[in-house]
Each structure stands twice: as C-alpha cells, then as structure tokens.
Structure 1
Amino acid sequence: MRYILLCVFLLCIGLQELTAQVTRIDTVAYPTPTIPKKNHYHFNTDYWYTVALRVYAHEQFPQLLNQPSAQPYRNSYLNGIMLKINDNQISYRLQAAHFNGDVSFDYECEGCGPVVNGKFRNTALKVGAEKSVSYSRFQPYFGGDIGFMIQRFFTKGYENTAVFAEDNKNAALFSPFIGLKLYVAPRVAIGAEANFNMAYTYQKVNNYADDSFTGVPDQTKRYRWEYFFAPVAAVTLQYSFGLINQ
C-alpha cells in the first residue's frame, strides 16, 4: 500500500512540472509589425512618347549676304515643337522651328551703307536620336540631329542708298548636341540643350535697284560649308505619356 501511494504522489508531482512548462500559443502577444515609409517619391520616367514645346532659344544662323563677321546670336520664343518616341534605350526625335523677325547688322559693300535692316525668316526641320546618361529625375543626355534649313532675308534698304536685296539660302545640317532634363512632376519635365551646327549651304543673292523687286537682278550664287553655334538651342517644356512598363 505504501508503494502505491508513493507512486501516485510521484506521478502527481511529474504532471504538475509538465503543466508548468507548457505555454499555450494562443495566449502569446506579438508586437504589431511596422512598415517603413519611403523618404522620397519616385517619378517613373519610362514613357513611350514625349511632346515638347520650345519655349526659348539663343542661337546663330547661317551668314546673311556677305557679312564680314560671324552671325550674331538671336533670341526667339515659343517658336518650335518636338515629338520623341522612346524604345527604352534611345529616344528618336522629330522637331521643327521657325524664326521670323526684323534684324539689322553691319555690312560693308561698294555703293552700300554701313547698316542693313530687313526681314529675316528661317525654318528648320530635323530628325535625330538622343541617349540619356541616367534614368532618374535628373537626366543628362547627348545625341545628334540631321535636317534641312530654309532661310530668306530681304532688305528694307541699305542705309543711304536705294539698293534693295534678297538673300535665299538652303542648307543641309548635322547638329550634335548635349542637354539636361529635369522631371519637376510626374510626366512633366524641363529640358535645355546646346548644339553645334555644320551646314552645307546654297545661297542665291538678288540685288535690285528699288524695292519693287522686279526686273533683272544682279545675281550671285554660291555653295559652301558654314558652322554656327547655339549655346541655348532650346529650352523646352516636355510632357510624356504612355508608360512602357504598365
């Protein structure tokens, strides 16, 4: 009988120890997980298409008449548009720009005055490609364009003379460029670029005795290479659409 009571006593003590070491998992409290927030909002810059408006430019043009010095730099505003198509590596671009305004410049010739005033028009069409160095909000890029330029200038009269002139020029262009683009908002970017233009030009100058531009003109024709620079070829406002990875 004593042995039976001893066994029952030991069994009770063992069960008590086992019960004390077991913890029910449904009673364990876990801390609430915390998901860290992003410090900066990421702009997606991968779009199929971009439309850009040329807001400002500061550039040279091919030489007018027989100017003895290089062309001056001229400003223009809101006179160009560009369409870009992106294949996720290179952007292919098509652009057009038109300059139309009154100009004056120094000019020396036999029977002419020292200053020429006239109406100047220049239209350029270009196609090309650009490659971005990075794909963040701030994107340096480089590339090249080829194109065609049509230019016309007609004088309002040489100073102190009745001689009038018309200068027509066509040019084939190659324009390497570098630029910067900054996304200020999703889909919206501001860009600026500079280029150097190499042009093979055909020029025809007609000199008339009066402003009627009639009769047989004193005519000059010539082909030549010309080089001119645009430190600000375009400041553009760009809008992109068509996400590549959507």
Structure 2
Amino acid sequence: MRYLLLVVLLFFGTVQLSAQVTNIDTVHYPDPIIPKSNTYNFNTDFWYTIAVRAYAYEQFPQLLNQSSGQQQYHTSYLNGLLFKINDNQISYRLQAAHFRNDIAFDNECEGCLPQVSGKLRNTALKVGVEKSVNYSRVQPYFGGDLGFMFQQLNTRGFGNATVFAEDTKNALLFSPFVGAKVYVVPRVAVGIEANFNIAYTYQKVNNYSDDTFTGAPDQVRRYRWEYFFAPVAAITLQYSFGLINQ
C-alpha cells in the first residue's frame, strides 16, 4: 500500500511540473522595430568641373613708381574661366582671367607726376592643384597655383596733355590659396577663395614727352620681387560633370 501511494504522489508531482514548463520554440515574440537610417544621396564625385569667375576683389603688381604695399584693390565681374580635372580629393586646375578698366592713382616719387590716370590691362594664366578637406556638401579646400601675368598701363597726368607713359610688366607667379565651395545641387556649386601672390617681375616704362611717339622715350627697366593680395580672388559658379563612379 505504501508503494502504491508513493507512485501516485510521484505521478501527480510530475504532471504538475510538466504543466508549468513552456517550450521555448512555442513562444511568439513581436517583430523587432529597427529605426530607419537616413539615406544620403548627395553625390559630388565628378571627373570634370568648369567654372565662371563671377566676382573678384584683388591687387595687381605695382604700377610706375608705386611703393610696395601701395597697390589699389580692383573689382571685376565675369572676367575669368576655370577648368578642373578631379581625382577623388585632388583637383588639377587651369584658369585664365583678364582685367581691363580705367583707373586713377597717386604716383609717389620725387620728380614724378603726383597723380596719373589711364587704362589698365592685366591678363593672368595659372595652373595648379587643389585639395578638398572632405566630400560633404560644404567642402573647404586649399592649394597653390603657378602662373604668368602680363600687365600694361597707358597713362597721362591729370591736367597735363603733354606727358604720356607706357608701363609694361611681365610676372612669374606663385599663388597659394584657401577657399570653400557649397553644392547647391549635386552638379552645381558656388565657390569663394582668397590668395596671396608672390611674383618675380620685369618692368619696362616708356615716358614720352607727348602722345605722338615721335621722340625717343625715357626708359626705365627693372627686375624685382613683388607681393600682392586678393582677399576675394574669385567667387565662382561651378558646374561638374562625368560621374567618377560610373
């Protein structure tokens, strides 16, 4: 009888324990919710860029007998082109710009005309390298250009129609620069940069007694190092094409 009672108790206990056990594979959990990640589809990786120099505010090499650091700042609009070949974060660039305008300035030297006016022409050709800091929509960059500049000034003194001067200058340039560009849409960007120019120049000045060029001119020739600054070397409108990842 004792053994029968023990068997009954063991059977009853086993039934109670099995009723409390739940198989893991029968439990249903709700599907996990994973937050969606933001997708960034703004592609700025293009092989080529062409740009128009829309605005510039810059100095040029010294004119006549100006002392170093006395160069005027000149404003210009829509007078230059820039072409770049892009290789990841490095761009190889070629640019040309031409300035032409009537100017007036003080000519500080003993025995010189104190004030002169005339037409200034300046043409610059440069090649260089530009490195972007990142690939984002706003891209700071820096680099340097090597180039050649040709400048000519034809001028006469204020109130003096019998004095005429022709100032011609050639310059070899090294122009380190910094800038930034902002992509408005993936192919179109607006850029702004500033540069500092180190130039080795050859200047020839012909001073005529009148504007008939019949007499032999008084000539001045000089070589020298010059430094001039462009706080706004260029504000450019840029268009890129040719996807790198195609």
TM-score w.r.t. the length of structure 1 is 0.83
Q: What is the alpha-carbon root mean square deviation over aligned residues? A: 2.4
Match for residue 140 of structure 1?
Answer: 140
Q: Is 1:192–2:180 an aligned residue pair?
A: no
Q: Per the alignment, in what secondary structure is the counterpart of residue 163 of structure 1?
A: strand
- What letter is aligned with 1:62? P
Structure 1 distance, partners of 2:206, 2:91, is 42
Q: Quote the offset at 1:43 in angstroms.
A: 1.4
Structure 2 distance, partners of 1:117, 1:213, is 18
Structure 1 distance, partners of 2:186, 2:114, is 53
Match for residue 11 of structure 2?
Answer: none
- What letter is aligned with 2:104? S
- What letter is aligned with 2:187? R
* Residues 93, 127 of structure 1: 8 Å contact kept: yes
Q: Is 1:49–2:45 an aligned residue pair?
A: no
Q: Quote the offset at 1:90 in angstroms.
A: 0.8
* Residues 51, 237 of structure 2: 8 Å contact kept: yes
- What letter is aligned with 1:214? T
* Residues 127, 147 of structure 1: 8 Å contact kept: yes
Q: Quote the offset at 1:109 in angstroms.
A: 4.5
Match for residue 243 of structure 2?
Answer: 243
Match for residue 82 of structure 1?
Answer: 82
Identity of aligned residues (%): 71
- What letter is aligned with 1:188? V
Q: Is 1:101–2:63 an aligned residue pair?
A: no
Structure 1 distance, partners of 2:42, 2:125, is 32
Structure 1 distance, partners of 2:40, 2:236, is 24
Match for residue 116 of structure 1?
Answer: 116
Deviating 4+ runs (over 6 angstroms): none
The alignment covers a number of residue pairs equal to 220
Q: Per the alignment, in what secondary structure is the counterpart of residue 122 of structure 1?
A: strand
Structure 1 distance, partners of 2:169, 2:113, is 23
Aligned 1:88-237 pairs, distance under 5 A = 88-109=88-109, 112-155=112-155, 157-161=156-160, 162-237=162-237
Q: Quote the offset at 1:163 in angstroms.
A: 1.0
Q: Quote the offset at 1:67 in angstroms.
A: 1.4
- What letter is aligned with 1:141? Y
* Residues 130, 143 of structure 1: 8 Å contact kept: yes
- What letter is aligned with 2:139? Q
Cα displacement string for residues 191-211 of structure 1 (whole angstroms, at most 9, x for unaligned residues): 000000000000000000111
Structure 2 distance, partners of 1:141, 1:235, is 14
Structure 1 distance, partners of 2:37, 2:202, is 62
* Residues 112, 163 of structure 1: 8 Å contact kept: no
Cα displacement string for residues 27-86 of structure 1 (whole angstroms, at most 9, x for unaligned residues): x9x98x999474x75310110000010000000000000013510111000000000001
TM-score w.r.t. the length of structure 2 is 0.83
- What letter is aligned with 2:87? D
Structure 2 distance, partners of 1:214, 1:223, is 27
